Structure 1
Amino acid sequence: MTGTSVDAVEHVSYAVADQTATVTLNRPEARNGYTVRMSDELAEAFDTADADPAVRVVVLTGEGRDFCVGADLSAGGLDLQDPADPEWNEPAGRCSLRVFAMNKPVIAAVRGAAVGAGSTIILSADFRLASTDARFGFVFSRRGLYPEGASTWFLPRLVGLGRAMDWMVSGRVFDAAEALSAGLVTSLHDPDEVLSEAYALARDLIRNTAPVSTAVIRQMLYRMSPLDSPLPVQRLDSRLIADSMTSPDAAEGIMSFLQRRDPQWTGEVPRDLPHYLPW
C-alpha cells in the first residue's frame, strides 16, 4: 500500500492508504488482549473511517501472531465502571455495533487466536478472512460469563442456530477449517498472506463496486432481512430503483459495463446516501 499515514493511539492504530483504512489491535505484547480503552479506540477509529469520504473500505486486523485472545484479565478484570447504569454498554458491543452501523465494507483479517472478544467483534464485519492457524472460541460458558457484542444475534445469522448453539453452549475452541465449513469465515490463507489477501479484496471492492450502492445494500441485508414480511423491503426497493434512473453512478455502472472499462464512481459516502432510508 502507498501513501500510508498512521495514527497510533494507546491500544489501537489507524492508518489510511489507497482508499483503505486499516484498524489494528495494537497490544502484541498482551496478544491483543481486549480492554475498555481498546473498545473505545476501535469505535472512534470506525467513526473516523465512516466519516471520511476518502475511505472506501476498512480492514480490521491485529498486530503480531494473534488477532485477540479475549478480555485482558491480567489485572483482575475489565474496568466496567458502573454496569448498573442503563446507558452503559459492554466493551465488545461498542465495537461490534459500530461495525454493524458502518456505511462502508469491513474486512476482518484474522490470524492466530480469536477467542472471546476476538470472535465476537468480527461477527458484524462483511468479510472474515482467516489464516490456516486461526482458532476461534465463544468461551463464555467456560468462564461463568455471558456472550457479548450481540453475538447471539449475529452468530446464528452466519452459521445457523444449531452450530451457534454448539459453539456457544459448549464454549469449545475450534479451528479455522471448522470455521470455514460452517460459514463463519469467508476464506482461509497462509498466516503470512491473510492481510495481503484482505487488501486485495479491498482493492477489488474499491475498483468495482459503487460506494453508495454498497452502503445501502449492506444495511438492507442487516436491517431488512429479519423482517417478517418482504412487503416493506420491496417498497424500499421500489423507491431506490426509481431514484437510480437519475443516478450518475447507475449510468456509469451501465456504461462502464458496455464499454468494458473500470467504472469511475462519483457518489460519496456519507454525502450521497438517500435521505429516506428508514434507519
Structure 2
Amino acid sequence: MKILIAGGAGFIGSTIASACIDEGIEPIILDNLVTGRREFTAGRTFYEGDIADGSLIDQIFAQHPDIYAVVDCAALIVVPESVAEPLRYYTENVAKGILFLGHLVRNDCRRLIFSSSASIYAAGSDFAVDENSPLDPLSPYSRTKALFETVLRDISFTGALGIVSLRYFNPVGADPKMRSGLQVRRPTHALGKMIEAREFGETFQITGVDWPTRDGSGIRDYIHVWDLAHAHIQTLRRFDTLFPTNPQSYYQVIN
C-alpha cells in the first residue's frame, strides 16, 4: 500500500510515516516545511511544496498512480498564534485545504483521512466528549477545523471522496525509534512547557487555580503520538469497511 501524507514532515505526519514504514506501507511525503523539518523526511519519498499547488499534486499522482489514500495533516495548529493571526489560519487551514481537495478529486483520489481536532467539541459537565457531543470551537484554530469538516461533509455527500475525520486531543511523545518528534524548539503545550522549564531551570506556570478539581488546577488529557499514528494506520486498513456500501458516499467521524 502507498499513501500520500500532506504535512508529512511535521510532528504528527512524520510519526504516521514512521509507523507506516514499520507496517509495510510506503509513505509519500508532501510538506512546505513552514513548520515541518526536512530531517524528518530522510530516506522517504519527499515533495517540497504546498497543498494548494495543483501542478505539484498532479505530478505526485502522475508519478505515483497507485496511491491508495491521502492522510491530511497539513495545518497550522498553535492556538495563541491563531488568535493573533486568524487570517493566516483561515487561509492555510481552510482556503488552501479546499484547493487541495479539488486537486485530489481531479486526480481521482477516493479516500481521505483528515487529521482533525477534538477541540471543536463543547465539553460536558464532566469535561468528557464523544462523537455525539455538540460542537463549540472556542479559538480561530479550532474553528478552522470545524469549518473544514463542514466542507468535507458536503463533498462526501456528492460521492467524490470517502472521508474519515479523526478527532483527538493533545498528542505528545515521539516515535519509539526516535526517527521524529516535536518540530518546534519552543513548545506551547503544557507538557512541553514543563519540560522546557526543567531544562532551563525556570518556574513552570500553572494556568488557573479555580477549576473544579481537587487542587483547583486544570486537567489535560494526552494521547501518545505513536498510538495516534497507529490509529491512522488502522483507519487506512479498515477504510472501505467503515462505509456500508462504498467508500465514496459517506463521511465518518472517529475519536
TM-score calculated relative to the size of structure 1: 0.33
Larger-Rg structure: 1
Greater RCO, 1 or 2 (C-alpha within 8 Å, sep 6+): 2
